[in-house]
Amino acid sequence: MYVCLCHSVTDTDIRRLVRTEGVCTMRELSRELGVATQCGKCGRCAREVLREAVDEVRNDAVCPGLMAA
């Protein structure tokens, strides 16, 4: 799903950046993808997707074998 139409950013883009680059703040996300830097309407949705992605990465780190089962 598109999160930021101004910069064509999807939820998949955000999740990938969290997993591969360790992005975990809106400031980092904005710097990397431009999210919430133009009209700002995507800020709330972007923050929610970011929070979910960070939580998923943390859960995988705490229980890495959980996903393999």
33-42: pLDDT as tens digits: 999 999 999 9
The C-alpha atoms of residue 56 and residue 7 are separated, in whole angstroms, by: 24
Q: Which helix (H) or strand (E) holds 13?
A: helix 11-21
Res 16: pLDDT? 97
pLDDT tens readout for residues 9-66: 999 999 999 999 999 999 999 999 999 999 999 999 999 999 999 999 998 876 655 5
CB burial of residue 20 (10 Å; 0-12, 13-18, 19+): exposed
Decide which of 3.30.70.20, 1.10.10.1100, 3.40.50.720, 1.20.200.10 is the CATH code for 2-62.
1.10.10.1100
Whole-model pTM?
0.85
